[in-house]
Structure 1
């Protein structure tokens, strides 16, 4: 039992294949496919888009953090943001999520909580900015830039390219999941 619990705390080994991710993570104590489908049902965002967001944000690393800032080029000094976990959720946004959903024990390093968060956030992007729930490109732009940044069209350098990567991965995941019956 300890082995399967330990395995849950690491990233799947084949993160570019949605079927392999679910096969690696679906067991007695963990069912990523079920958690992903539950988020899709609750928020209306397709599983491939949810998974692609996590792929781009953290590569399915549960304890992912942004790079450190350095003083004088070599002294570590904090991080560039408070993003953390599978979904790279910022501290303030994570707190808003917990308040809005009542999921006070949610953890950014728990896949089920993270995919629920991504569904919640994308659904809010749909409500606030009118982005279709099936538009992985624009949902990612709003995810990265924030709702206000998205509505102003403020996208940092490289964000459009990353949004294209996310949308392409969502299409790939969709085809894979269709072929393996998830």
Structure 2
């Protein structure tokens, strides 16, 4: 009878994974224009963005501006399907998927470089933000784009580092305009975060002095 438990275990794991990564995916924030409100609604997202910043160098606000324009904070976002003969849903134009709209090849490189875990998925904000940080880290190292230049970082993210080096964006005014909007939002998010960041530090029950040094929020 020992073998009988294996299918049951597989079913349980499958149901758990479905709930974890699909049905229970967080809803997009109610107010995506204010980073303080975003983190108040999804506090763990601050932790993920902070961890990626500390690991790879991209500022928290830039992480979140990328996700805003890539997926509007929708965990399972994909490009809309093309239409065959104008009305039959057909293939998608790219393999972009998840919060960061990571393409299959880039995501495969990320997994190969950082561990191909079964639960490392593009629909989880933790890994989406880590992907953005990892990608920008390589961009900084290979192209010399500083982390405080969201516009150029986003151009390299959107066009790929090879495309950026070839300046493919120069022929795409819609892409350069989008990169400017990403930068404006990143700077706005950064200013907002300065007014509220300490709300999200030392907020867990096990974080206390001397292991956590954030001062209490002003009343």
Q: Taking structure 2 as the reference length, what is the TM-score of the superposition?
A: 0.76
Partner Cα separation in structure 2 for residue 171 and residue 55 of structure 1: 13
- Asked whether the 8 Å contact 1:8–1:25 carries over to 2, the reply is no
Match of 2:28 in 1: 11
Partner Cα separation in structure 2 for residue 100 and residue 170 of structure 1: 27
- Please point out which of 121, 125, 128 is paired with 1:111: 125
4+ runs of 1 displaced by more than 3 Å? 5-8
Partner Cα separation in structure 1 for residue 164 and residue 31 of structure 2: 32
Matched, 1:177 2:193: yes
Partner Cα separation in structure 2 for residue 89 and residue 157 of structure 1: 22
Give the RMSD, CA atoms, in angstroms.
1.6
Partner Cα separation in structure 2 for residue 86 and residue 167 of structure 1: 18
- Give 5+ residue unaligned stretches, structure 1: none
Matched, 1:25 2:42: yes
Partner Cα separation in structure 2 for residue 106 and residue 96 of structure 1: 13
Alpha-carbon distance, 1:9 to partner: 2.7
* Structure whose alpha-carbon radius of gyration is higher: 2
Paired residue secondary structure (1:41) = helix
- Give 5+ residue unaligned stretches, structure 2: 1-18, 199-219
Partner Cα separation in structure 1 for residue 86 and residue 25 of structure 2: 36
Matched, 1:89 2:102: yes
Paired residue secondary structure (2:91) = strand
Matched, 1:59 2:75: no
Partner Cα separation in structure 1 for residue 189 and residue 24 of structure 2: 22
Q: What per-residue deviation string (whole Å, max 9, x for no partner) do you get for residues 70-93 of structure 1? A: 111111111011001100000111
Alpha-carbon distance, 1:11 to partner: 1.2
Match of 2:202 in 1: none
Higher relative contact order (CA 8 A, sep 6+): 1
Match of 1:146 in 2: 160
